[in-house]
Amino acid sequence: MNLYEKWTNMVTEFVKTKGEIAFWNEYKNVELKIYKDILGNKNFSFKSSVLDLSKKYDINEDFIVGFVDGINESLNKQIDVENITVEEEIEFEIDVEKLYFNMLDAKADYLYNLKEWKEILSSEKIKSITSNWRSSKIVLNPVKIGRNELCTCGSGKKYKKCCGK
């Protein structure tokens, strides 16, 4: 069984036994611990293994795999999470703006409201990323031509009598 399968099985069992809220509370603490360190030290490019991260943060290896899976979309070079091993060295090159965007997308207010962000991104940049995130969630429908409006082909007829048939 690979690490990713072990992680997904652990999540399933954790949720079955302790509940989903307990899982998210536990995972939230893991993420907070790691992100506070990364953002606080402005360490956006580093190499480490699952084992080393587990020892450094005193966190279960399964949760580290979950963290790697979560941060993967915010990396410049994505990791094949399903095939990583405990001792394999992983290269983390974090795109900070993408990370903030993905935290907004995950609705992880406990992460995107960390005070460490103020030292990394300017308030204008945070507003810009937040605005881009909001606009990415808005669905714009094309304007429909009404039946009694003039036809768009330029014939001068009503749409229902021309191209709307």
Residue 43 lies in a domain: yes
Residue 47 lies in a domain: yes
pLDDT tens-digit readout, 14-59: 888 888 888 888 888 888 888 888 888 888 888 888 888 888 888 8
pTM of the model: 0.77
Residue 144 lies in a domain: no
Q: How many whole angstroms separate alpha carbon 66 and alpha carbon 53?
A: 12
pLDDT tens-digit readout, 6-26: 888 888 888 888 888 888 888
* Number of domains into which the chain is organized: 1
Residue 137 lies in a domain: no
Domain containing residue 41: 3-121
pLDDT tens-digit readout, 109-156: 888 888 888 888 888 988 998 898 888 888 888 888 887 888 888 888
Angle at 123 between CA 120 and CA 121, to 5 degrees: 15
Closest CA to 31 of 113, 128, 137, 147: 113
What is the largest distance, in Å, between two alpha-carbon atoms of the chain? 75
Residue 140 lies in a domain: no
CA dihedral 88, 89, 95, 99 (to 10 degrees): 50
CB 158 within 8 A of CB 149: yes
